[in-house]
Amino acid sequence: MESYVLYGLAFISSFIFIALKSAQQLHVVFKHYYLILPTSMLMAICEVYVISTTAHNGWGWIVLPIGLGGGLGSLFSTWLHHNFLHRN
């Protein structure tokens, strides 16, 4: 697989994985019980991909797209939750 495709997939999967982790935490805090289990299942899929990609490619530049994807995913998830699910 080409490195730019690998880095792109690592970024996207890390973005989704960390966004789901942030959403999971917010679902627990705000007692959105019906969203906890589906979020956990999606997290498992992304986590396996991110870990296997890192294990297969080792340390190196792969850390950059995974870190950026995770940070942006957390920001996006928090913004999304605040604007669409959080009720005052």
pLDDT in tens, 51-67: 988 888 788 888 899 99
Asked if residues 77 and 19 have their Cβ atoms less than 8 Å apart, the reply is: yes
Short-list 7, 15, 8, CA closest to 62:
7
Cβ contacts of 23 within 8 Å, gap of 6 or more:
35, 39, 77, 80, 81
pLDDT at 87: 62
pLDDT of residue 9: 93
Per-residue pLDDT at 82:
87
State the Cα–Cα distance between residues 60 and 4, nearest whole angstrom.
Answer: 14
pLDDT tens digits along 1-58: 688 898 999 999 999 999 999 999 998 998 989 999 999 999 999 999 889 888 887 8
Q: What is the pTM of this model?
A: 0.86
- Farthest CA pair distance, the chain: 47
Q: In terms of C-beta density within 10 A (0-12 exposed, 13-18 middle, 19 or more buried), how is residue 73 classed?
A: buried
